[in-house]
Amino acid sequence: MIPSAATSPANKSGTPSKAELEQNEVRLGASLEPISVAIAASTAMSGQLIRDALKRHRRSFTTIGPAYSGKELLQMAAALQPQVSVISSNLQGDSMGGVKALRQLRLSNSSTRPILLFESSEPNMVIDAFSAGARGLLSANNSFEVLCKCIRCVHAGQIWANSGQVESLVKVLEDIRPVRLVNARGVSLLTRKEEQVVNMVAEGLRNREISKALGVSAHTVKNHLFHVYEKLGISNRVELILYFASKRYAHELLKGAN
């Protein structure tokens, strides 16, 4: 479980002083405006721990909840529009409850940016979480400081994933056929060359390897990636891999349903 007071410097009484908390907030890079964070937890205790820990950094965060089911989280998100949601992977005794909640949020067109807290990071969980709309994936065993960094990163529009999780995504993509990225009308979003670059990135190739395979300069590859990022509304290589994985996953679901 992500610890609360144990992660903050404490005085002799065991309780962090106001000065210590303020110094810790500066060290963590507090936002100019507090980030509103909804909490969906597996238990009352875990929800209380996360809420109390975030409240100690009131200059950085305001808290909503905790909720204990996907339905409660959906209601909170609709009524209070939290900027970020921290969701346990296990809700109401269901190990996939958090992923189901992510899907409900996506279907509701909620603007909240979800982070999934997991107890065990298996490859299928990584794929399911990001495909369902997670913007961050974090172990419940991580420190509170890491949670704070994750919240700020996701709030800023970035994806939070560690190298092992990205590697899991890449491994899943290794043996699949290239996915054609299209809009709702079936029109390709990318040029043929850009699609080639995207598929090679998803296979784990670096720019130099891609340039060699395509017979173009590394600078040309960078230009292709810049245009891809712009067209897809993403900002870096990790987000591109996750975007690719989500599209592939949706394609497989549709294929299986037919």
Per residue of the chain (258 residues), give pLDDT as tens. Answer: 454 333 333 344 444 444 444 444 444 444 468 999 999 999 999 999 999 999 988 889 999 999 999 999 999 999 999 999 999 999 988 888 998 999 889 888 899 999 999 877 676 778 778 878 889 999 888 889 999 999 999 999 888 888 777 777 666 655 554 555 666 676 778 898 998 998 888 776 788 889 999 999 999 999 999 998 888 877 777 777 777 666 554 444 444 444
For 120, 148, 226, the CA distances from 138, given in Å and listed in that order, are: 10, 11, 28
Angle at 158 between CA 207 and CA 151, to 5 degrees: 145
Q: Write down the pTM of the prediction.
A: 0.60
**Fold exhibited by the domain 170-257:** Arc Repressor Mutant, subunit A (1.10.10)
> b/e map of 27-42 (b: 16 or more CB within 10 Å)?
ebebbeebbbbbbbbb
**Fold exhibited by the domain 5-161:** Rossmann fold (3.40.50)
Which of 119, 170, 144 has its CA nearest to residue 27? 144
Which 8-state DSSP code applies to residue 135? S
The reported pLDDT for the residue numbered 81 is 94
Tell me the two tokens of residue 98.
Answer: 């958090």
DSSP helix/strand/coil, 114: strand
Q: Quick one: which H or E segment has residue 116?
A: strand 113-118
Asked if 106 and 74 count as a contact pair (C-beta separation under 8 A), the reply is: no
Three state DSSP letters for 4-24 = CHHHCCCCCCCCCCHHHHHHH
C-alpha to C-alpha distance for 93 and 45, rounded to whole angstroms:
14
The reported pLDDT for the residue numbered 182 is 65
Asked if 49 and 1 count as a contact pair (C-beta separation under 8 A), the reply is: yes
DSSP one-letter string for 25-74: HHHHT--SSPEEEEEE-SSHHHHHHHHHHHHTTTTTEEEEEEE-SHHHHH
Task: Enumerate the domain spans of the chain.
Answer: 5-161, 170-257
DSSP one-letter string for 84-102: EEEEES-BTTBTTHHHHHH
Its sign, for the CA torsion 34, 154, 151, 38, is positive
